[in-house]
Structure 1
Amino acid sequence: MSLKTTIGVGLIGTGFMGKCHALAWNAVAATFGEALRPRLVHLADANAELAEAKAAEFGFTKASGDWRALVADPEVDVVSIAAPNPFHAEMACAAFEAGKHVWCEKPMATSREDARAMLEAQRRSGRVAALGYNYIQNPAIRQMEALIQDGVIGTVNHVRLEMDEDFMADPDAPFAFKNGAASGYGALDDFAVHPLSLLWRLAGPVASVMTDQAKPYAAREGRPVETHEIATSLLRLANGASGLLVANRAAWGRKGRIAVQVFGSQGTIAYDQERMNEFQLFTREGDERTLGFRTILTGPVHAPYGAFVPAPGHGLGFNDLKVIEAHELLAAIAGQPARLVSFETGFAIEETVHAMARSHETRAWVDVAAPAGH
């Protein structure tokens, strides 16, 4: 009996993240030489004509205006969910019930109950599931994590994280879907989840939080803004370290900033997503006259950079991180070790976000619920 060499892919959604998934599925085999090669089978979008056009553009053989038809397609083995956040839960649960693997964009869902339902559906199915936290795949982040684990900066005692963009900065911009309560909390689950995914890798989970949220603009086009654009949270980590997380969707001049500083007893590591191919390292060892931060520029020595470019300093981009994420997902499906944000970890991140929202409401420190299943 011959082993299966291809895997059928279904993609729900044709927007920014839908195209990112399509690009990743198209590139992963050529980049990494996958033994299990993706076969682009079925694309779905609420607009059937758009689905047809994008299927031809992305390379899918079928198109549909009904995502349920995609989930039911026997040729589809793994479902990429790149639809708006409120639809994640229904789509993921249906995919698991149909026996499919799932690659779902972050956040898991817009409510804790829906996120929990997704986790339970995944557990029942036994299928592989991953969330689209592609920033953890960056070779720079991987190297930072290795240095921290090796004790290069000593015992971590404080972590500071910021995520800033300016797509909500204009007070005269029209009311958008992300201004409505149906989209979630706002900066917390739209933004804060990304730095939280990095925090999990670099310093571990959060034990308790104290959070404040803010609305720089109370209304747009005469409609009340129901979400918060800014969130600031004090953190107590499970390992005893302290932390600070700030997320701002109305930060003029910031385009894709995730700033991370990890302070330890013997040094500091710093990173900024707007300069994603480098990080800074300070260690207290050496001649005092020349001590200072040094910049580490990523290259082939920092896996899996070399799968893309054979020369250091040329740099990877956002879509390359999605290709790495697809590679890790295929490894997990093949039963191999994989570096992914699982639904287990994703739900723990959701619990942290909901604890932050409760803290804002109660104006008090709130403990984060223990990870599901523990």
Structure 2
Amino acid sequence: MVDNNKSKTIGVGLIGSGFMGKAHAVAFRTVGGIFPLNAQPRLEFLADRNAEVAAEAAHALGFSRSTGDWHELVCDPAIDVVAITTPNSQHAPMALEALANGKHVYCEKPLSTTLENALAMTEAAEAAGVVTLVGFNYQRNPMVHAVRQMIADGEIGDIIGFNGHYVAGFMGRREGSYSWRMHPDEAGGALADIGSHLISMSRFLLGDITDVIARLDTVYPTRSSPDGVEHPVDIDDQAAILARFRDRPFTAMLDVSWVATGREMGLAFEVTGSRGAIKFTQERLNEVQIFKRDQPANRSGFTTLTAGPAYPPYGAFCPGPGHQLGFNDLKIIEVKGLIDAITGVAPSPTPFADALKTARVMDAIHRASATGEWTAVER
């Protein structure tokens, strides 16, 4: 763990160098040039599936050392924080061993594919007394924070409705699509893989979910691998969910699909209030649309708010409004939150304990789909 009185750097160990691994590396390498920090990240060690892949990735991403054995990384005394960007099933064993070695842990979502593992990870983190953060990076968007504040301030009145979606088409083809994502223990299905983002986002905006009723569907009971071999599939491709929030007088609708043909990044929501409404989609992440009922009749309609320095921390990236933030910028904001938590500036924005609440909602959704009944979320 980092001693804030003695250390000016934070040794980073990254496990995995794919899409998310590269995003983590870019964020760690860039964050110190965007934000003032009490300690700078040091790209120390990278682990991947074998030594050759790890060495190539370490060279490309700027890490000092590499290994084909992640066990070596999580035990290394030069590592202060372990960043885990591997397939979902590997999160638990990697995080648990890192925690046992006193490391801070930055883990991609979902926390795990099972509630049992998510609970074990959270308990281990609390026992270790370290900082944890789960990569729900879409919540780092300044415009999403603006929406949360509008809701809290009553800007659109009492909240009376919420529709949320995470619909994407990257698993929409049956042919040639069989992969690790098709194993329940590996990815957890569409609900865990992408729906966890939507559930966490809805909780971030509206508070805890207490009860759900849901239907999980496997659209393709078989899929072929790239070599043409057919494989049986028993994971959810889609989820339709009704959810109730604590202290909210309505039932929300949540829609998850990774077979939504034609959709690229359809994480979106609409919040309805007694005096207005707010709309957002990640495909236009620098905009929020807001409607207020007190507008003149001939000016009635949604108004677009555009990201700019008025929505922190946008201004740290650019002084001019409308110049746009991107996906990697959200990761940079997330890594700032991690470093601030490690150095005692602020608490982690989404520690394991928060991600565990999302895991409990997903567990209730699976149970509700099996019974067809309203199901309480365990507390």
Number of the residue aligned with 2:15? 12
1:64 aligns with one of 61, 64, 67:
67
Aligned length: 370
2:100 aligns with one of 92, 97, 101:
97
Shift of 1:179: 1.1
Number of the residue aligned with 1:87? 90
Q: Name the CA distance, whole Å, in 2 between partners of 1:327 and 1:320.
A: 11
Contact 1:20 1:319 (8 Å CA) reproduced: yes
Q: CA 1:339/1:156 → structure 2, altered by over 3 Å: closer, same or farther? A: farther
Give 1:76's aligned amino acid: I
Partner SS for 1:122: helix
The answer to whether 1:355 aligns with 2:364 is yes
Number of the residue aligned with 1:238? 246
- 153-162 or 337-346, which deviates more: 337-346
Shift of 1:169: 0.7
Q: Name the CA distance, whole Å, in 1 between partners of 2:260 and 2:251.
A: 25
Give 2:196's aligned amino acid: V
Deviations 1:33-76 (A, max 9, x none): 32210001100012110100111111111100111111111110
Contact 1:184 1:227 (8 Å CA) reproduced: no
Q: Name the CA distance, whole Å, in 2 between partners of 1:36 and 1:196.
A: 32
Shift of 1:183: 2.1
Give 1:315's aligned amino acid: Q
Number of the residue aligned with 1:123? 126
1:133 aligns with one of 123, 136, 140:
136
Aligned-residue Cα RMSD (Å) equals 1.2
Give 1:169's aligned amino acid: G
Q: Name the CA distance, whole Å, in 1 between partners of 2:343 and 2:177.
A: 46
Contact 2:239 2:256 (8 Å CA) reproduced: yes
Partner SS for 1:181: coil
Contact 2:67 2:73 (8 Å CA) reproduced: yes
The answer to whether 1:155 aligns with 2:158 is yes
Number of the residue aligned with 1:282? 291
- 164-173 or 179-188, which deviates more: 179-188
Give 1:244's aligned amino acid: M
2:112 aligns with one of 95, 103, 109:
109
Report 1:167-206 matches (<5 A).
Answer: 167-206=170-209
Give 1:197's aligned amino acid: S
Partner SS for 2:138: helix
Shift of 1:192: 1.1
In the alignment, structure 2 segments of 5+ residues that lack a partner are 225-229
Q: Name the CA distance, whole Å, in 1 between partners of 2:367 and 2:84.
A: 28
Contact 1:111 1:184 (8 Å CA) reproduced: no
Q: Name the CA distance, whole Å, in 2 between partners of 1:98 and 1:69.
A: 11
Number of the residue aligned with 1:366? 375
- 337-346 or 75-84, which deviates more: 337-346
Q: Name the CA distance, whole Å, in 2 between partners of 1:204 and 1:329.
A: 22
Q: CA 1:197/1:174 → structure 2, altered by over 3 Å: closer, same or farther? A: closer
Q: Name the CA distance, whole Å, in 1 between partners of 2:356 and 2:111.
A: 7
Give the structure-1-normalised TM-score: 0.97
Contact 2:182 2:189 (8 Å CA) reproduced: yes
Q: Name the CA distance, whole Å, in 1 between partners of 2:90 and 2:188.
A: 15
Contact 2:171 2:177 (8 Å CA) reproduced: no
Shift of 1:339: 5.8
Partner SS for 1:162: strand
Shift of 1:286: 3.0
Report 1:197-216 matches (<5 A).
Answer: 197-216=200-219
Number of the residue aligned with 1:251? 260
Deviations 1:290-348 (A, max 9, x none): 12110001011110111111111110111110000000011111112246111111000
Number of the residue aligned with 1:307? 316
Partner SS for 2:277: strand
Shift of 1:104: 0.2
Contact 1:197 1:341 (8 Å CA) reproduced: no
Identity of paired residues, percent?
39
Give 1:349's aligned amino acid: T
Give 1:302's aligned amino acid: Y
Deviations 1:109-131 (A, max 9, x none): 11111111100100000000000
1:334 aligns with one of 343, 346, 352:
343
Q: Name the CA distance, whole Å, in 1 between partners of 2:347 and 2:312.
A: 14
Q: Name the CA distance, whole Å, in 2 between partners of 1:51 and 1:107.
A: 24
Q: Name the CA distance, whole Å, in 1 between partners of 2:330 and 2:218.
A: 32
Number of the residue aligned with 1:229? 237
Shift of 1:85: 0.7
Number of the residue aligned with 2:25? 22
Q: Name the CA distance, whole Å, in 2 between partners of 1:143 and 1:156.
A: 16
